[in-house]
A and B are shown apart, each in its own frame.
Chain A
Amino acid sequence: MNIYATYNIKGGVGKTTAAVNLAYLSAADGCRTLLWDLDPQGAASFLFRIKPRVKGGGKALIRGKRTLDEAIKGTDFENLDLIPADFTYRNMDLLLGNADGKPTRRMARLLRPLADEYDNIFLDCPPSISLVSENVMHAADVLLVPLIPTTLSVRTLDQLSEFVADFTDHQPKVRAFFSMVDRRKRLHQDITAKLSAERSGVAATPIPALSLIERMSVERAPVTSFAPRSQAARAFRSLWDEVSDAKPA
């Protein structure tokens, strides 16, 4: 089982879009795939037309009163399941802090029983630096970091890489990719070209800013499913081909 997490401290950078489309492509490749929508806003759940509600809320899951298995819902797509968001996830930091054992490893422990059932698990994180994101980093094999092509976002990537480098037991591989790239902007072109070439942890494939991607919220489906031959879908396919090879051996 490989665990991929889409993470960025900032919101609105394309985390959910990436998680939904990469999870869809993983499932379409025949891998048994699960996406956990950890963001209390429930955007991924909305895109799969699944109600953002978990019986007993986040509390029941974190404290182990309900297993993750019980919360799983099938999507409309073969091989692709989802654990929906729940509004109580907004308190997940507190719940994790009060949980038994190491609070930063709780999520990894909860996911462990799913190892036989799924080939790939995607964690769609809320934007923050919190106990939730630290849990996600400890659970993940690959951190997928969407970057808006600005100088500041590159600095964020460096901070994140330094942070996980201090992990003593399990270090996730950090794979960044440029998101919402506007080819008409010179700055976007320069930064994506420069960093993709210079930095080994940055994927060569950028995800462009396209209205078709925004249309996902109208279609309530991954763009890779409703427009599989589109430029947007091809970009996600290319990105998945890159990052799915990035998983640790």
Chain B
Amino acid sequence: MTPDVRVFVLDGNTGGNQDGTAPEAGSARVPSVVLEVLGQSFGVAAERGARSRRQTWLDTFDWRLYRAGLELEYEHAARGGRLLLTKDKVPQAEQPVDNWRRDRPHLADDLPAGPVRDQVARLASPRALLPVATAAGPVSVTRLLNADGKTVARLVVDHPAVTRGGQTVSLPVRLAISEVRGYPGQARKAARLLAGVPGVDAAHSSAFLAAVAALGLHPGAYSSSVHAEITAQMPAPVAVATVLLGLVDTLEQNVDGVLRDIDTEFLHDLRVAVRRTRSGIKLLGDVLPGSRPYAPEFKWLGDLTTPTRDMDVYLLGFGTLTARLVAASPADLEPFRAFLVRRRAREFRLLTAGLRSARFNTLTGHWRKVLLEAQGPGRKGRQARSTNNGSWVLTADELAVARTARVFRRVATHGAAITAGSPPEALHDLRKRCKELRYVLEFFASLHDQAAYRKVIGDLKQLQDCLGEFQDSQVQREEIQTLADAMLAERAAPAATLLAMGELAANLVQQQAEARANFARRFTAFAGPAGQQRVRDLLARPL
């Protein structure tokens, strides 16, 4: 990997032709002033032959690489190509790749083995890598020579362009000084000279950022978390409608990824948006006229997605499940895995039919209309402390404090009543209350003191993890029994597979018992005296 010592852009020169089109390969020109300045200290010689560069940048739908400060580039070549990973413009890893289909998503885990995959899969898995932007254009390389005529650095001038809506948009011309191994001082010297050329500025953003900006994309814009712009003094109905509108956006943004079955996280994010919406309607719907009738429809939508997600959870965690086997061999479970794949395919067909149905489109369309009406015009500037028919309107902050306190009390009461003899249903029920509390906290997160908020959320998350493990172990164990029956009915269950599934079920019983043993400690940490004080601190408001 040859590092670029420094990268520059040509000021006020987009590098395109007069008619606005991008230059053809081989027509890249090096500005004469640049050659003049470099020529005072180096011999300069143009590298022979027309060159061009085509780059495609990849990231997950939720911008995991971008958020980690990474850029993943696929550089096209006549034979194969290569993947390059950079962080803050510094190369981290590269690897050649053959048979890369750049036009379709790739699961990070499916990348060929190599240093790029090692770093990327850890961050991106189980998400797919999607092509985010492609830039192409001619490149010229000028060799910088010492007194012996030896190449000691290279000037690489790149004229990239992207295509947007059928139009070619030229990006700023990029000039890079590329180091020749063993001659770092010469490359630094060339970079210093280049920095002094009028009209040449240090490149503050990468070619990737220039490309996505030209395409009108906003890196990092998508997030599955709640990101509503609400203020403390906003009327409560407006705030609730704003939160719920954000959830409809998230839901709709994920539909295409689910239908194309790009990766499992589209469905996961869609389901979380549905669950949050249902909790929003249940806990806050009284301040939002016309919202309650939608609760059954969102239940339908949630139920529609559950079977496919259940299979996804099994398949994603299959390696972990089989790793715990002691008596059986992982190979014994292969028929079970194959059965899960077939079952998922069946459930997925039902899911996609539902998401393409008029019922789904009506639900999201009408729901959005209800929320927009509740938001009303000029929503962001509205203040609640004006009279409305002579009565005070509840503010977003008042609603946040009152509802959070109410849901917390429910969690505290339910949890305190759980003893060693309580049935599993009591813990399942507490898990639901905890989810509601988590959502109501997230809806109004921007209104709280952030330090206090993080403490409460941290403890709550640990309690939820414990309750989740308890319930998931039980559900999975019951599901294994049901699936074993189904496999027997299909005559797809060899004896070794059934025995291995029995061992899985036994492991899950043990896992559930461990979660149960941890419950009291986790609950006390969250809702004991210290935890209650933390919630009081969170909800306290200055007088």
Contact = CB atoms under 8 A, between A and B. Distances in A.
Interface of A: 48-51, 71-76, 81, 220
Contact of B143 (A72, A76, A220): A76
Interface string B274-299: 00000000000000000000000000
Contacts of B181: 72-74, 81
Interface stretch (B122-130, B144-152, B261-269, B525-533): B144-152
Interface in B10-55: none
A20 to B, nearest CB: 15
B431 to A, nearest CB: 49
B182 interface: yes
A67 B255 CA distance: 56
A49 B43 CA distance: 14
A75 B183 CA distance: 10
B321 interface: no
B341 interface: no
B150 A72 contact: no
B116 to A, nearest CB: 15
Interface in B416-470: none
B150 A49 contact: yes
A194 B372 CA distance: 93
Interface of B: 2, 143, 148-151, 180-183
Contacts of B149: 49, 220
Contact of B180 (A51, A71, A74, A220): A74
Nearest to A221: B149
B183 A73 contact: yes
B182 A72 contact: yes
A72 B2 CA distance: 13
B182 A73 contact: yes
Contacts of A73: 180-183
Nearest to B152: A74
A74 B182 contact: yes
Nearest to A75: B151
7 closest Cβ pairs, A-B complex:
A73-B182, A74-B181, A49-B150, A74-B180, A76-B151, A49-B148, A49-B149
Contacts of A74: 2, 151, 180-183
Contact of A50 (B2, B143, B150): B150
Contacts of A220: 148-149
A51 B186 CA distance: 15
A77 to B, nearest CB: 9
A76 B150 CA distance: 7
A49 B152 CA distance: 10
A51 B152 CA distance: 12
Contacts of A76: 143, 150-151
Contacts of A75: 151
A209 B143 CA distance: 32
Given A73-B182, A74-B181, 8 more contacts: A48-B150, A49-B148, A49-B150, A50-B150, A73-B183, A74-B182, A81-B182, A220-B149
Contacts of A51: 148
A75 B2 CA distance: 12
* Among B148, B182, B183: residue with most chain A CB under 10 A: B182
A35 to B, nearest CB: 13
B129 to A, nearest CB: 25
A73 B185 CA distance: 13
A128 B143 CA distance: 38
A220 to B, nearest CB: 7
21 contacts: A48-B150, A49-B148, A49-B149, A50-B150, A51-B148, A72-B181, A72-B182, A73-B181, A73-B182, A73-B183, A74-B2, A74-B151, A74-B181, A74-B183, A75-B151, A76-B143, A76-B150, A76-B151, A81-B181, A81-B182, A220-B148
A73 B150 CA distance: 11
B185 to A, nearest CB: 13
Contacts of B183: 73-74
Contacts of B182: 71-74, 81
B416 to A, nearest CB: 60
